[in-house]
Amino acid sequence: MLKKAGLLTATLFLLTSLGLGQDGHYDVSANAAAVFTKQSDGNGIAQSATNGSDYFATIRLKFKPKHSVAFNYGRAKDSQVYQTGFDFHILTNITEYTGAYLYNPLKKGRFEPFVLAGAGALVFNPQSTWVVLPNFTNNVPNRVQIDLGAVKQTEIAFLYGVGVDYQLPRFARFALRLQYRGFLYDAPDFKVNTASGGAVSLFTGAKGHMAEPSIGLVFRF
């Protein structure tokens, strides 16, 4: 289903581009970001995540001087942490499929700031799971790998952000992009809950938030 949604989004983007003809302006960018996740609390569970990294690509179509649409694809990695009396850790790959509208209020010299808002999907794919147990002998916690039955989970996400492009001197087609992006979504539980017969529940029912400051290189064509 997710592949079909991604294909549909890409098709709509292509059709929009073709429909606007040759008056459109395109750019692509490769970006690297740090990932910081806000703690979510619910049902007696405190959910957080380790600081992680993200690499994402963006293709943008500027259909008017101040108005653009963009499609993003990215891969992030961190550990989701659930404090339920014990500390459960789920090493997670996060795949991003999002689209956004961008508005450029002005252009001054080589600087072109923008704001963005959009939506899409975040796919949380668990890799390994462990629990941290107390060690009363030397006070060093034990990390014990366990199988919680965690499965891939897709969450709809709202995307917002601000940024600025700086056109590189002597390279008219290239720019440096600095931006901040934020994601709002339902905090994942990887379908680990007592309602499905599990011994442990990781369901908080809370909203999650990821913050991503990033830097990227833009190519315009």
C-beta of residue 126 within 8 angstroms of C-beta of residue 190? yes
Give the angle subtended at the CA of 200 by the CAs of 194 and 202, to the nearest 5°: 90
Task: Find the mean pLDDT for residues 96-106.
Answer: 97
Instruction: Of 9-23, 38-52, 113-127, give the lowest mean pLDDT range.
Output: 9-23
Q: Residue 16 pLDDT more than 90?
A: no
pTM beyond 0.75: the answer is: yes
Residue 23: DSSP 8-state:
G
189 burial level (CB within 10 Å; 0-12, 13-18, 19+): buried
The band of 194, judged by pLDDT with boundaries at 50, 70 and 90, is low
Q: Stretch 156-183: mean pLDDT, rounded?
A: 96
pLDDT of residue 12: 47
Using pLDDT thresholds of 50, 70 and 90, give the confidence band for residue 89: very high
For residue 31, pLDDT beyond 80? yes
Give mean pLDDT, residues 1-8: 50
**Res 20: pLDDT:** 47
- Is the per-residue pLDDT at 3 higher than 90? no
Listed residue (87, 194, 91, 90) closest to 131, CA to CA: 87
Helix (H, G, I), strand (E, B) or coil at 168: coil
User: Class of 31-220 per CATH?
Assistant: mainly beta
Is residue 102 helix, strand or coil?
strand
Mean pLDDT of 109-122: 97
Please say if the pLDDT value at position 19 is more than 80: no
Q: 181 or 134: whose pLDDT is higher?
A: 181
